[in-house]
């Protein structure tokens, strides 16, 4: 009854599925199912799948159970489910059955620094599915157009999507039209987050006035404000300094934007969000400096989400000093990859809950595009890959190493993202009524990363040659098996745009805090007129 009430509130349309297709653990015989080796296209068009014998892992609980899927929805989770004919059986014995990953930070087919990222929606999403990510949230960047035109452009880019996706919206200026269109984005287009760049001077960087206005507008709409936190003015000066010293190679990128500039901007954004009393999401946290500012704010009770990215967790800046330009340039991203001690500290912060969600900032350019900055690091397109590698690297570096539990893994790669962007439990969970976005991970299997075998269009990979334990062997997206036995089977146009409603749990009780603040002011003070 509790589950039925939950579904009635969140997914009323799914009640029909439950009323027609309920499955019990002993109601149906098992003969006549589609075997694992069956041709899914011809034998299992019913869209019915039973995952048997695996350890089902959610962020709050794990248990050995079966998972029955029908028409793209998880219908039943229980031990020993028995089903009728024409059901595809997938044996998950000894393996983990988990919600598909949600990548909160990607840039597909994005115009940037005079070029366009090499991965479009179909290629980037295919890479994601091969790596166990079943949904991503991309950034709509309204360069030289208004928000509505930018949104329409990105919806057109995503027409050939092969998995589910959502959008954040970038804000690059402030006026009444922007304020009005933000409301349209939230109420009509399902966008519940807006990003503000505190870096990239002369391009998308905004000043504090725009940020404050944006924070206030986000609060009124129940939308989450996100910041790329670097002091853009100081970075511009740092770049000039490096060039004047004759440092024109990729190492100049890291030297021109040290961690102190990330820490300063993070602290400033946090304090401004506190001034407005609205939640804040700090994207790609790359340094101890930024992480410590987030930790202090969280300890004081402020609502801050810190997002490290895979590259910042496991790579170090030494690659930027490589004598081969192509090798060094592929590691250029902003904020830059730091010294190894930063990555270790970020891993610890992720394990302790100071940082909550792992993204990728997947923003790929091939070696030809990176070579635009051969003689000037300022012209190297910023960005690295990660959408295919994230789930494997986080398992190996965080779970296999003993830093976090299996349930924590689900939380930081899927569930918390779904909650923050208000699409849980439709996404981020293996529960009755949730979307059938599922991975099966074999903890005893190994992986090896290579640009030769990856599914991105990029000809390089920043994790080249990396090996580890824990491999995604099956990916189910929207109730379809799309990755199995090393084979990818995707259909362009099968991905759905997921609208994300405003006022996530981060906004709960903010009105009470505002009321307490107003009551504490002791103002305005009533004064008598001055004697004449």
CATH number at residue 357: 3.20.20.140
- What range does the domain containing 395 cover? 101-430+446-465
Mean pLDDT of the chain: 92
Q: Is the pLDDT of residue 352 over 70?
A: yes
Residue 124 main-chain phi, psi, to 5 deg: -65, -40
In a domain, 28, yes or no: no
Can you tell me the distance from the alpha carbon of 293 to that of 272, in angstroms, rounded to the nearest whole number?
13
Give the integer Cα–Cα distance in Å for 274 and 219: 12
* pLDDT tens profile 461-511: 999 999 999 999 999 999 999 999 999 999 999 999 999 999 999 999 999
Per DSSP (E only), the strands in 240-399 are 280-282, 304-306
Mean pLDDT, residues 392-399: 98
Lowest mean pLDDT among 7-21, 58-72, 231-245: 7-21
Q: What is the mean pLDDT of residues 199-220?
A: 97
CB 95 within 8 A of CB 472: no
Q: What pLDDT sits at residue 34?
A: 36
pLDDT (average), residues 435-449: 98
Q: SS3 for 251?
A: helix
Radius of gyration of the chain (CA): 24
| Closest-CA residue to 325 (of 243, 239, 381, 250) | 250
CA–CA distance, 64 with 315 (Å, rounded to integer): 35
Share of the chain above pLDDT 90, in %: 89
> Is position 239 within any domain?
yes
Residue 498 lies in a domain: no
Q: pLDDT tens digits for 94-150?
A: 999 999 999 999 999 999 998 999 999 999 999 999 999 999 999 999 988 999 999
Residue 136 three-state SS? strand
Helix (H, G, I), strand (E, B) or coil at 32: coil
Q: Which two tokens stand for residue 45?
A: 């068009």
Q: What's the confidence (pLDDT) of residue 85?
A: 87
Torsion of CA 313, 442, 415, 14, to 10 degrees: 150
Total tally of structural domains belonging to the chain: 1
Whether 123 is in a domain gets the answer yes
pLDDT at res. 532: 67
Question: Cβ(101)–Cβ(417) under 8 Å?
Answer: no
Query: 284 — phi, psi (to 5°)?
Result: 25, 70
Q: Does a structural domain hold residue 486?
A: no
Q: Is residue 87 part of a domain?
A: no
Other residues' Cβ atoms within 10 Å of the Cβ of residue 319: 18
pLDDT tier for residue 4 given thresholds of 50, 70 and 90: very low
Q: Is residue 46 part of a domain?
A: no
Task: Strands of 107-248 (E only): list them.
Answer: 111-112, 115-116, 133-140, 164-171, 193-197, 224-228
In a domain, 365, yes or no: yes
């Amino acid at each position: 009854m509790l589950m039925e009430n939950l579904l009635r509130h969140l997914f009323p349309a799914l009640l029909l599925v439950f009323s027609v297709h309920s499955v019990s653990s002993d109601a149906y015989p098992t003969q006549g199912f589609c075997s694992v080796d069956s041709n899914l296209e011809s034998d299992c068009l019913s869209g019915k799948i039973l995952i048997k014998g695996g350890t089902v892992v959610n962020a709050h609980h794990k248990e050995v159970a079966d998972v029955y899927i029908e028409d793209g929805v998880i219908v039943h989770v229980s031990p020993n489910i028995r089903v009728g004919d024409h059901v595809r059986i997938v044996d998950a014995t000894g393996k983990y059955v988990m919600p598909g990953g949600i990548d909160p930070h990607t840039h597909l087919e994005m115009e940037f620094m005079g070029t366009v990222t090499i991965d479009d929606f179909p290629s980037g999403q295919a890479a994601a599915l091969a790596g166990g990510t079943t949904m991503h949230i991309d950034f709509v960047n309204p360069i030289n157009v208004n928000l509505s035109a930018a949104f329409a452009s990105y919806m057109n880019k995503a027409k050939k999507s092969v998995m589910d996706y959502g959008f954040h919206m970038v804000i690059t200026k402030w006026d009444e039209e922007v304020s009005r269109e933000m409301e349209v984005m939230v109420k009509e287009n399902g966008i519940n987050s807006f990003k503000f760049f505190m870096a990239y001077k002369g391009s998308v960087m905004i000043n504090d006035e725009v940020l404050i206005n944006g924070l206030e507008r986000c609060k009124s709409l129940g939308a989450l404000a996100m910041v790329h936190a670097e002091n853009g003015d100081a970075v511009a000066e740092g770049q000039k300094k490096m060039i004047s010293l004759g440092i024109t190679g990729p190492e100049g990128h890291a030297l021109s934007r040290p961690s102190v500039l990330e820490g300063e901007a993070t602290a400033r954004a946090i304090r401004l969000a506190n001034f407005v009393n609205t939640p804040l999401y700090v994207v790609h946290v790359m340094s101890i400096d930024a992480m410590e500012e987030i930790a202090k704010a969280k300890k004081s009770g402020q609502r801050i989400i810190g997002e490290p990215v895979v590259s910042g967790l496991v790579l170090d800046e030494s690659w930027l000093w490589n004598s081969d330009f192509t090798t060094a340039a592929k590691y250029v991203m902003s904020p830059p990859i730091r010294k190894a001690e930063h990555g270790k500290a970020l891993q610890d912060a992720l394990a302790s809950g100071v940082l909550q969600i792992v993204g990728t900032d997947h923003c790929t350019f091939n070696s030809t595009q990176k070579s635009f900055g051969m003689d000037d690091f300022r012209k190297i397109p910023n960005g690295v890959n990660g959408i295919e590698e994230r789930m494997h690297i986080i398992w190996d570096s965080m779970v296999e190493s003993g830093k976090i539990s299996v349930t924590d893994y689900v939380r930081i790669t899927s569930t918390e993202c779904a909650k923050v962007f208000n699409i849980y439990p439709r996404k981020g969970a293996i529960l009755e009524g949730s979307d059938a976005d599922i991975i099966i991970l074999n903890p005893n299997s190994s992986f090896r990363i290579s640009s030769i075998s990856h599914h991105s269009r990029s000809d390089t990979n920043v994790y080249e040659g990396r090996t580890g334990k824990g491999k995604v062997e099956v990916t189910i997206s929207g109730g379809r098996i799309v990755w199995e036995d090393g084979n990818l089977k995707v259909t362009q146009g099968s991905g759905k745009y997921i609208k994300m409603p405003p006022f996530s749990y981060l906004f709960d009780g903010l009105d009470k805090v505002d009321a307490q603040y107003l009551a504490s002011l002791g103002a305005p003070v009533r004064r008598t007129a001055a004697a004449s």
